[in-house]
Amino acid sequence: MGGSALNQGVLEGDDAPGQSPYERLSQRMLDISGDRGVLKDVIREGAGDLVAPDATVLVKYSGYLEHMDRPFDSNCHRRTPKLMKLGEDITLWGMELGLLSMRRGELARFLFKPTYAYGTLGCPPLIPPDTTVLFEIELLDFLDSAESDKFCALSAEQQDQFPLQKVLKVAATEREFGNHLFRQNRFYDAKVRYKKALLLLCRRAAPPEEQHLTKAAKLLIFLNLSLTYLKLDQPITALRYGEQALIIDPKNAKALFRCGQACLLLTEYQKARDYLVRAQKEQPFNHDINNELKKLASYYKDYTDKEKEMCHRMFAPCGDGSTVGES
C-alpha cells in the first residue's frame, strides 16, 4: 500500500466549484451499500472467491480524514497484521461491507459516510462529528471460519454424523489458522490450532479405503507441531511429534530434519547424527540439513586430531548424499 502518497493523489484532482475532494472522488466510485454510504474504487484487482460472511481476514489498512495526508489509523507499520474476524474484531460497519466485496490480493479505496463509520458523535479527539472517512484496504488473505466454528461447536456424537470429507475440510481450516498464527510468531496460539485439528482427525475412525486421507492430513499436522515445539524450546515434545510423522512416512525429510534438530538440542548427538544423515540421504543438497550436520560436527571441536578426523569422515557428505561409514 502506498499510504499517504495514495491519499495525496486522491486530494489532487480537477477542481470543481463547491465540491470537496471527497465529493469529487465519490463521483467515480461504485456504490456497494445501496445508499451511497459505502463507495468503492478498486486500485488493484484480486482473484478467487469473495470474502465469506463470518470469515477471518488478514488485511492492511489506513484511514484518512479529508484534507489530511497522514492516516489517523493504520496497521501498515506492523510486519505481520493480525487476523481479524468479521462481526467481532472489525467494528466499522463500512469496513465490513467493503471487505465482503473484496477478493484475495485486492487493493481498494473506500469512502465511508458517518452512518457506516464513526456516526454523528465521531471519535474525539481524532474523528470530528458527522465525518466521512477514506480507507485504503489491502486484502492479503481470508479464511472461511464459519463452517469450522459451527462444526467445532457440535458434540462428538453430532460430528460423527458428518462424512469424513467434512472432517478433513474443517481440520484443514484449523491447520491453516495455525499456519497464519505461526507466521505471526504466535507459536503458542498456533500450537492450540494444530492440536484442535489433530483432535478432530484422531477422534474420527476412517474406513480402510479412506485411511490414507487421514494419514496424509495427520502427517502435515505432526510436522507443524514438531516445528512449533522447536520454536517453543520444547525439544522433547518436538521429537515426539516428529517421530509420529515418521511412523506415517519413514523417509520424510522434514520429519527427519526436525527430529535431528530436537536431538541436537537435547545433546543426544548420536541420535541427531542418525536422523540428519537419513534426512541428507533423502535431500542431499538441502542447505538447512547440511548446515545442521556442520553444526553437529562443531560440537566435536575439543576432540583429539585423530577423533576430529573420524568425525570429519563421519559427517562429510558423499556424492550419493550418504556419509562415509553409513551402512
Tally of residues, the chain: 327
Does residue 125 sit in the same domain as residue 137?
yes
Does residue 121 sit in the same domain as residue 152?
no
Does residue 74 sit in the same domain as residue 155?
no
Of 110, 145, 180, the residue at which a domain comes to its end is: 145
Does residue 204 sit in the same domain as residue 72?
no
Does residue 182 sit in the same domain as residue 293?
yes
Does residue 302 sit in the same domain as residue 158?
yes
Reported as type and span, the H/E element at residue 141 is strand 133-143
Of 108, 128, 145, the residue at which a domain comes to its end is: 145
What average pLDDT does this structure show over 116-127?
91
CATH number of the domain to which 216 belongs: 1.25.40.10
What average pLDDT does this structure show over 291-297?
87
How confident is the model at residue 321, as a pLDDT?
A: 41
**pLDDT tens sequence across 65-117:** 998 889 999 998 887 788 888 888 888 999 999 999 999 999 999 999 999 99
Q: Nearest CA to 175 among 141, 225, 246, 212? A: 225
Rounded CA-CA distance 262/325 in Å is: 23
Does residue 189 sit in the same domain as residue 272?
yes
Residue 5 binned pLDDT confidence (cut-offs 50, 70, 90): very low
CATH number of the domain to which 115 belongs: 3.10.50.40
Cell of 39: 463507495
Is 114 within 8 Å of 127 (Cβ atoms)? no
Does residue 207 sit in the same domain as residue 231?
yes
Rounded CA-CA distance 12/1 in Å is: 18
Residue 326 lies in a domain: no
Question: Which ranges constitute the DSSP H helices of 204-234?
Answer: 211-231
Number of domains in the chain: 2
Residue 16 lies in a domain: no
Does residue 200 sit in the same domain as residue 257?
yes
Does residue 191 sit in the same domain as residue 239?
yes
- Residue recorded with cell 462424512: 163
Residue 71 lies in a domain: yes
Rounded CA-CA distance 22/69 in Å is: 13
For residue 247, the tally of other CB atoms under 10 A from its CB is 12
Of 145, 161, 192, the residue at which a domain comes to its end is: 145
Burial class of 238 by CB neighbour count within 10 A (0 to 12, 13 to 18, 19+): buried
Q: What b/e readout covers 175-194, taking b as 16+ CB neighbours within 10 angstroms?
A: bbbbbbbbebebbebbbebb
Peptide bond into 284 cis (omega under 30): no
Residue 207 lies in a domain: yes
How confident is the model at residue 307, as a pLDDT?
A: 47
Residue 8 lies in a domain: no
How confident is the model at residue 162, as a pLDDT?
A: 87
Does residue 198 sit in the same domain as residue 111?
no
Residue 6 lies in a domain: no
Rounded CA-CA distance 117/109 in Å is: 14
pTM (whole model) above 0.85: no
Look up the domain containing 239 and give its range: 147-312
Percent of the chain with pLDDT over 70: 86
Q: CB under 8 Å to 147, separation ≥6 — which residues?
A: 169, 170, 173
**pLDDT tens sequence across 126-157:** 899 999 999 999 999 888 877 788 888 888 88
Residue 116 lies in a domain: yes
Does residue 112 sit in the same domain as residue 156?
no
Residue 43 lies in a domain: yes
